[in-house]
């Protein structure tokens, strides 16, 4: 397993190169000139050119990209074009907020999703099963921005029991975490149900019942453990989706996290900030997928990690 982990860590290098390459050249297509934004709309051509030369924007794109990539491997993500602060410092301030939001959201995704999936699988094709799956279908279908606004209106404006926006206490976490985790919970519920139904039909489950084992022991000790492998895969992918969803949710609830930082940087064409934010989000996704692969081995000793 150690060699597997080392190989996966080495795979981070091409991921970094790929992410920086894609983001760098896509940002070149965004309308607007950073030099004009920094110099001001009424600045002279000489002032704009001076800014372009200072930032190295007058060099060919491949040289700009190569210099940026070398700096990334040195741990230097550049300086924000908007506030002249080191990008790494800005990211490290906002990253814990985004990770905290994603963490609470994934808890909601796993707990609600797996609970609903198990309930449906234990009573297949019953009224309970149909009701739970209809709610799951609704959860997948609802856009997160609409759900967030509706939750905000109902619980914050009408009932006034939860804060509208911000990130100052545990109460501020509830609405954004539910908004972000609801869709993932629906997907996990459907996958858990499908996987559990397949496992429950196996011969060893019938043998366990024939031996007189209690139903809850059969479900949680024998069936669920073997049904978790595909569920773990879905949860790992959902974590990546949550990181992407934070961009929208943080904007709705005015949370000063990594996602909102990226949105603001795109608006101002702050290329170093956008690249740094996307790069960190990609690295988190890679690390989460590494943990998912390790969990495979924990839950099923027969799986070999190569």
pLDDT, residue 303, reads 57
- Checking if the pLDDT of 84 tops 70, the result is yes
How far is Cα 288 from Cα 282, in angstroms, rounded to an integer? 10
How far is Cα 282 from Cα 250, in angstroms, rounded to an integer? 18
How far is Cα 305 from Cα 282, in angstroms, rounded to an integer? 22
| CATH 1.10.3720.10 is held by the domain 87-299 | yes
pLDDT, residue 58, reads 77
pLDDT bucket at 78, cuts 50 / 70 / 90: confident
Give the residue carrying structure tokens 């496992």.
Answer: 199
Cα separations (Å) of 117 from 34, 71, 186?
50, 47, 9
What value, to the nearest 5°, has the Cα angle with vertex 176 and ends 173 and 180?
Answer: 130
How far is Cα 130 from Cα 133, in angstroms, rounded to an integer? 5
- Checking if the pLDDT of 304 tops 60, the result is no
What value, to the nearest 5°, has the Cα angle with vertex 186 and ends 205 and 302?
Answer: 40
Percent of the chain residues topping a pLDDT of 90? 1
Domain boundaries, the chain: 2-73, 87-299
Q: Average pLDDT, stretch 25-43?
A: 73
Q: Which of 264, 240, 271, 257 is nearest to 71 (CA)?
A: 271
Q: Look over the chain and give the mean of its residue pLDDT values, rounded to a whole number.
A: 82
DSSP 87-127: HHHHHHHHHHHHHHHHHHHHHHHHHHHHHHHHHHHHSTTSH
pTM, two decimals, is 0.78
- Lowest pLDDT segment from 44-58, 67-81, 190-204, 243-257: 44-58
Q: Which of 122, 117, 146 is nearest to 133 (CA)?
A: 117
pLDDT bucket at 20, cuts 50 / 70 / 90: confident
Q: Average pLDDT, stretch 207-223?
A: 79
| pLDDT tens figures, 230-255 | 787 788 777 777 777 788 888 888 88
């Amino acid at each position: 397993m150690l060699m597997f982990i080392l190989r996966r860590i080495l795979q981070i290098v091409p991921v970094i190169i790929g992410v920086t390459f894609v983001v760098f050249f896509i940002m070149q297509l965004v309308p607007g000139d950073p030099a004009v934004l920094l110099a001001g709309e009424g600045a002279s051509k000489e002032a704009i050119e001076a800014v372009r030369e200072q930032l190295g924007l007058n060099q060919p794109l491949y040289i700009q990209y190569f210099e940026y990539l070398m700096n990334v491997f040195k741990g230097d993500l550049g300086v924000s074009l908007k506030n002249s602060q080191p990008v790494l410092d800005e990211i490290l301030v906002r990253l814990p907020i985004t990770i905290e939001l994603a963490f609470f959201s994934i808890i909601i995704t796993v707990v609600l999703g797996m609970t609903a999936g198990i309930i449906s699988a234990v009573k297949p094709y019953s009224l309970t099963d149909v009701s739970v799956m209809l709610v799951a279908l609704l959860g997948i279908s609802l856009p997160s921005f609409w759900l967030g606004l509706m939750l905000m209106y109902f619980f914050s404006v009408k009932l006034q029991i939860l804060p509208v926006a911000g990130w100052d206490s545990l109460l501020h976490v509830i609405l954004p975490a539910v908004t972000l985790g609801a869709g993932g919970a629906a997907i996990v519920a459907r996958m858990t149900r499908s996987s559990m139904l397949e496992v429950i039909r196996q011969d060893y489950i019938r043998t366990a019942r024939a031996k007189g084992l209690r139903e809850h022991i059969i479900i949680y000790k024998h069936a669920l453990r073997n049904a978790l492998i595909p569920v773990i895969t879905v949860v790992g992918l959902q974590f990546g989706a949550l990181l992407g969803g934070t961009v929208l949710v943080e904007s709705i609830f005015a949370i000063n996290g990594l996602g909102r930082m990226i949105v603001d940087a795109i608006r101002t064409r702050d290329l170093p900030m956008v690249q740094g934010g996307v790069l960190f989000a990609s690295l988190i996704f890679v690390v989460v997928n590494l943990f998912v692969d390790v969990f495979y081995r924990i839950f099923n000793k027969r799986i070999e990690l190569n």
